[in-house]
Amino acid sequence: MAESWPPESNTRALSPAALAVSGADTRSLLFRRGRAYLGMMVELFTEDEIERYSRHILLKEVGGVGQAKLRDASVLVVGAGGLGSPLLLYLAAAGVGRIGLIDDDSVELSNLQRQIVHTTAAIGTRKAESAAATARALNPLVRIEPHARRLEADNAPALIEDYDIICDGSDNFATRFLVADACFLARRTLVSAAVLRFEGQLSVFKPHADLAGPCYRCLYPEPPPAGLVPSCSEAGVLGAVTGVMGTLQATEVLKEILGIGEGLSGRVLTWDALAARMRTVRLRRDPACRLCGPGAEIRDLTEHTRAAAAGDQAVVCAG
* Boundaries of every domain in the chain: 24-65, 73-309
Distance from CA of residue 140 to its chain's centroid? 20
Give the pLDDT of residue 227. Answer: 74
**3-class SS at 142?**
coil
pLDDT tops 90 at residue 313: no
Average pLDDT estimate for 188-213: 96
Looking at per-residue confidence, does 226 or 111 come out higher? 111
Distance from CA of residue 35 to its chain's centroid? 36
Give the pLDDT of residue 35. Answer: 58
Residues with Cβ within 8 Å of residue 281, at least 6 apart in sequence: 267, 268, 270
Residues across the chain: 319
Give the pLDDT of residue 317. Answer: 52
120-160 residue pLDDT tens: 999 999 999 999 999 999 999 999 999 999 999 999 999 99
Number of H helices, E strands in the chain: 14, 8
pTM value is 0.87
Give the pLDDT of residue 118. Answer: 98
Within 10 A of 105 (CB to CB), how many other CB atoms are there? 15
pLDDT tops 90 at residue 293: yes
Give the pLDDT of residue 92. Answer: 98
CATH number of 73-309: 3.40.50.720
68-83 residue pLDDT tens: 999 999 999 999 999 9
The rounded distance, in Å, linking the Cα atoms of 155 and 102 is: 11
Residues with Cβ within 8 Å of residue 39, at least 6 apart in sequence: none
The rounded distance, in Å, linking the Cα atoms of 63 and 52 is: 13
